[in-house]
Amino acid sequence: MKERVLLGMSGGVDSSVSAVLLQKQGYEVIGLTMKLWEEDDRAVVDAKNVCKKLGIEHYVVDLQKEFKEKVVENFICTYMCGKTPNPCVECNKFIKFGEFYNLARKYSCKYIATGHYAKIVFSQEYNQYILCKSNAKLKDQTYFLYGINRKILPYILFPLSDFEDKDEIRDIALEVGLEVAKKKDSQEICFVQNDDYIEFLQQHGDNQFNQKQGNIVLKNGEILGGHLGIINYTIGQRKGLGISYKEPLYVIKLNRETNEVVVGPEEELYSKTLKANELNFLLNMNLEKEIEIEAKVRYRAKPAKAILRLENDIATIEFAEKQRAITPGQSVVFYLNDIVLGGGKII
């Protein structure tokens, strides 16, 4: 009897080819599309067409309420605090590997699968299943997956883990005759149209994001000009500040309490240390002593050598070399070579 696997299908080429690969591996695939936001209709149609082509069952589950509570409201609240959220981390933790995993029991599936670029293997060294970087290093998505509950790692399949290039995935889709073979990748934040997060916050933030004017200041408090609302600025931003100074200035801090945008020369963007909370660890190991790791402070950042120390559920990361634009609200992810140790939210 074939093992049943519940595959999350977004209507994109990655999850569609994942269905093809799982079938070839001998699984009975059940396709499921989670309706998360108002604009998901196209995803449902594309996923349903792929499933029809492959001869597999397809279901749609409305998780808009859960998505709003766990992802969208966190997105809004984080900006309210003057921080920069990472909604993909929240979505993976609570929806794609939380609610979705719970649905697997409903459909009598032992495993869940997604089209993420990541790898799960059993480690003899740690005597457990571990999350590792995928072979597609430039596409690796483990940065967004550190929040998964490690107890469900044995029941997650990543069919794309051994591929090194997105073109390989599209070639498989073309060979099978899937209409989504040339479909463009989805936008970065699925619920924010045209990446205009400011408009989104103003529409969905219950009037909490009216553009309240304030000052742009140096660290010493010197006022250089005014701003129209701190949500318009991000750590590391240089352009669009609307001020003049003797040297280029960058946003180095957003102070919600004083409604100030703090700027400074580029060297003030760099720091060797950070603290993080809301920690999640995927390896069952002794964390009482300091550990040598590599850490990433954003998805596109290169892993950097660092020391990890834990105290009272707060992680202190000390880098060997200064890191640019460490941003509160974003995630820091800890690696042991290609293995994901865990991660947390920068504070």
Of 217, 270, 231, 218, the residue nearest 81 (C-alpha): 231
Q: Hey, is 306 helix, strand or coil?
A: strand
Q: Give me the torsion for CA of 190, 191, 193, 195, rounded to 10°.
A: -60
Does 91 participate in catalysis according to the annotation?
A: yes
Tell me the two tokens of residue 205. 């933030």
List the Cα angle 198/80/259 in 5-degree steps: 90
Does 190 participate in catalysis according to the annotation?
A: yes
Strand 250-255 to 260-264 pairing: antiparallel
Q: Give me the torsion for CA of 7, 13, 18, 24, rounded to 10°.
A: 130
Is residue 327 exposed (0-12), middle (13-18) or buried (19+ Cβ within 10 Å)? buried
Catalytic: which of 51, 88, 91, 109? Answer: 91
Q: Which sequence positions are flagged as catalytic?
A: 91, 190
